[in-house]
Amino acid sequence: MFLPSAIFPHPPDPALRQPYTTAVFLPLYICHYLLAVLAVLPHTGFLRLAFVPVILWQAWYCAVGLDLSAGLAKSLGRDSSARLNHCNLVFVIGVINIVLKSLEWAFTRKPLRRYDPPAAGQHAPVERQLSISNVLLDAIDLVSSQRGIGWSWSDKPFPRASTRSTSIASILAKMLVKFVVLDASQYLVQHIQPSLNEPAGDTLFDPTLSALPRCARAALFTVCGGLMVYATMDALYHAATLVGRLVLRQQAWQWPPLSDRPWTATSITEFWGFRWHQSLRHVFVVYGARPGRTLLGKPGAILGGFAVSAVIHDMGIWGFGRGTEFGTAGGFFLLMGFGAVLELAFERLTGQRVRGAWGWAWMMAWTIGWGTLMVDAWARRGFFACDFFPNGLRPGKWLVDAIISLV
């Protein structure tokens, strides 16, 4: 397996982290924002480069020195942060994302420009004027943008109109449904194997079962873990959409769907290409796919993008506070890249793409089978014991308990 520790310095003991405070994290975010301002303006190359060492030092200090779950536990009046450790996984990956975006902005050759939508009958987007207010607002949008909607650095700055309903009522309903799916998936795992509901964690593979039931249960838990990630990302995106639409008065086209029914994918390429959430896609392209394509063509682009994802997710595991385990989450993503390359080879040999019922079965088997690597690593660090909802407000638990009682 690829070991990020061969390149990156080994992070210190996570037990030495201090509780997160906004005052400590704020300098990193301010520098990130100021760099975004400079990235929008022309002739700022030297100033942008000057921010690089500052941001790198601040990011390292925040990622390895701050415990977000401990900070949240303190603000919520909890004695222990053990059931909030999932926040640290997200926090570490978020800080890495800040670093990678900052480095891209620092070394970009042309200013990053935000577009206004093309007028009726026009095809070319219109660059926004560089007024003080526009620059400051555009920098805020640049900091929060993950997919480049309305930006010059995106291949598709204006996404096609979605066929799904974009009404506020439908977005609210989808958000509530995703929260139920999240809680129901987690509670199902906790109900079947209570040891996974302990912050100390446990393996997905129950040693008391024979091989086939043991693997089948692990596969079920892997599906539940995937549903939890999918539902969490979509629910939070819907919540952000409501804020953008209702508070900031943004248009529906600025909030296209984050994912596209990933369970309907009929190939690994389709699953990761556009059906799974695309939040970090640009980072994978810039730091993995483009260099990989230069070296090895399309197979190199695929493997390069997944390699960057592997490194980021492996480093994120450290955030759980139980040390590193390089090769688990990373190995999963490398194997996803290898599966996509196999599909490319199949297409070139046969002239046909992987698709249909057999393609769906292949995608499910490869993704779920190898997915146990990552989900098991999470489970042994207490992932399924994390609190996403208050104890008295668990809609998924109510649903699962109701179904069980009826059965």
- pLDDT tens column, 287-344: 999 999 999 999 999 999 999 999 999 888 888 877 666 678 889 999 999 999 999 9
Confidence bin at 204 (pLDDT 50/70/90) = very high
pLDDT at site 262:
96
Over 50: is that where the pLDDT of 243 sits? yes
Query: What is the Cβ-side half-sphere exposure of residue 79, based on CA atoms within 13 angstroms?
Result: 0
Tokens 């400051």: give the residue: 136
Average pLDDT over residues 244-270: 92
Residue 132, judged by CB atoms within 10 A of its CB (0-12, 13-18, 19+), counts as exposed
Cβ-count burial 226-248 (b if 16+ within 10 Å, e if not): bbbbbbbbbbebbeebeebbeee
What would the pLDDT profile of 20-33 be if each residue is shown by its tens digit? 999 999 999 999 99
Report strand pairing: 115-116 vs 126-127: antiparallel
Please, are residues 380 and 338 in contact by the beta-carbon 8 Å criterion? no
For the stretch 119-145, pLDDT in tens is 766 667 788 889 999 999 999 999 999
Reading the block at residue 41, the tokens are 């303006």
DSSP for 291-312 reads HHHHHHHHHHHHHHHHHHHHHH
Tens of pLDDT, residues 338-391? 999 999 999 999 999 999 999 999 999 999 999 998 999 999 999 999 999 887
What phi, psi does 127 have (nearest 5°)? -70, 140
**pLDDT in the model for residue 44:** 95
- Note the Cα 132 to chain centre separation in Å: 32
pLDDT given at position 2 = 44
pLDDT at 207 over 80: yes
- At residue 323, the pLDDT reads 67
Residue with tokens 């924002």: 33
How crowded is residue 355: how many other Cβ atoms within 10 Å of its Cβ?
17
For residue range 76-131, what is the model confidence (pLDDT) as tens digits? 888 888 899 899 999 999 999 999 999 999 999 999 999 887 776 666 778 888 99
Segment 245-252 long-range contacts (CB within 8 Å, at least 24 positions apart):
245/168, 245/171, 246/168, 252/162, 252/166
Sequence-distant (≥ 6) Cβ neighbours of residue 359 within 8 angstroms: 266, 267, 353
The count of residues in the chain is 407
